[in-house]
């Protein structure tokens, strides 16, 4: 459920940034402002890719975590946040690498238009035999002689 809401939030943010960029282009804004705005769009696109590419076989790690006031005082909770933050950043770096290489399994424009995107994250590949091979045992049986 969190993934769904984060996807909607990131898509809404990305659409807003794209319209702002178009308005800035029409207003002939400075190159620095345009460059800064393109960087924001790039980060929003990476967030969108994060939501889509996060493996469905693992517990989803939120892009926008809510930290309660009670948990800020608990040292065990702080250890958990740091661990979760580390996992989030590691996966986000992987997504950023895929994004920069252009190896995304979907187009961001398709997502913004509203097309349904299906990604198979859990490709099960079995490299070993499930059942042990049966050894052929010849028994001396007088019935077939």
Task: Give the pLDDT score at 126.
Answer: 29
Is the predicted pLDDT of residue 39 greater than 90, yes or no? Answer: yes
Measured CA to CA, the distance from residue 100 to residue 17 in angstroms comes to 20
Q: For 104-145, write each residue's pLDDT tens digit.
A: 888 888 788 777 777 765 432 323 344 445 555 555 666 665
pLDDT at 125: 30
């Amino acid at each position: 459920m969190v993934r769904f809401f984060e996807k909607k939030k990131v898509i809404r943010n990305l659409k807003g940034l794209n319209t702002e960029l178009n308005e800035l282009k029409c207003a002939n804004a400075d190159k620095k402002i345009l460059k800064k705005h393109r960087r924001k769009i790039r980060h929003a696109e990476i967030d969108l890719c994060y939501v889509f590419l996060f493996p469905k076989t693992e517990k989803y790690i939120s892009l926008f975590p809510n930290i309660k006031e009670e948990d800020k005082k608990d040292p065990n909770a702080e250890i958990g946040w740091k661990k979760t933050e580390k996992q989030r950043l590691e996966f986000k770096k992987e997504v950023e690498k895929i994004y920069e290489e252009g190896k995304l399994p979907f187009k961001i424009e398709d997502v913004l238009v509203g097309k349904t995107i299906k990604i198979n994250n859990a490709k099960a590949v079995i490299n070993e035999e499930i059942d042990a091979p049966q050894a052929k045992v010849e028994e001396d049986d007088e019935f077939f002689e």
